[in-house]
């Protein structure tokens, strides 16, 4: 029996449409892979940078804050208090589970609405589950303006005398 060279045989319409479909499918797969590679290569050229939030905040002039007043800065999560000894800043983040506290002027206290912790205007725990007082933050006077640095904590009895 003689061997038949099927590469030299005529291609019928069914065989041609099958080959065309498989060729289109293969070209489509190569195109998708190439596009994905190109997108990845282009994205590699741009840096993935995370911008950190500012930690230094301007409070205002010391003369603008009367004695006995607590200034709440909820956006910055900071309280600034002007007491008889001087000024100090403390965080507004509860030491229990990290909730944002709020100042209740009528009650003269700082209150955590999540779990009921209560703090004095000095930051000391008055009630509730909070294990520690509110940490004090570094407060400085620069060019006649009070500046809070929320990234630095100071001693619990630290006060800025102006």
Bridge partner residues of 120 (DSSP): none
- 143/74 Cα distance (integer angstroms): 24
pLDDT of residue 110: 87
Global pTM value: 0.65
Q: How many CA atoms within 13 Å lie on the side-chain side of 70?
A: 22
Residue 115 phi/psi, 5° resolution?
-130, 5
For residue 37, the model assigns a pLDDT of 95
pLDDT on residue 1: 64
What pLDDT does 153 receive? Answer: 85
pLDDT in tens, the chain (162 residues): 677 777 777 777 777 788 888 999 999 999 999 999 999 999 988 888 777 778 888 888 888 888 888 888 888 889 998 888 888 899 989 988 888 888 888 888 888 888 888 998 888 888 889 898 889 899 888 888 888 988 888 888 888 887
What's the Cα-to-Cα distance from 103 to each of 14, 16, 43, 107, rounded to whole Å?
Answer: 81, 80, 46, 9
């Amino acid at each position: 029996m003689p061997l038949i060279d099927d590469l030299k045989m005529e291609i019928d319409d069914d065989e041609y449409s099958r080959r065309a479909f498989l060729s289109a499918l293969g070209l489509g797969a190569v195109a998708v892979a190439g596009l994905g590679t190109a997108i990845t290569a282009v994205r590699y050229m741009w840096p993935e940078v995370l911008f950190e939030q500012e930690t230094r905040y301007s409070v205002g002039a010391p003369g603008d804050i009367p004695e006995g007043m607590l200034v709440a800065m909820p956006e910055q999560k900071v309280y600034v208090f002007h007491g008889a000894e001087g000024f100090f800043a403390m965080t507004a983040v509860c030491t229990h589970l990290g909730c944002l506290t709020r100042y209740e002027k009528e009650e003269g206290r700082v209150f955590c609405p999540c779990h009921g912790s209560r703090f004095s205007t000095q930051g000391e725990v008055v009630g509730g589950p909070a294990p520690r007082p509110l940490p004090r933050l570094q407060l400085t006077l620069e060019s006649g303006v009070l500046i809070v640095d929320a990234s630095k904590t100071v001693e619990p009895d630290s006060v800025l005398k102006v």
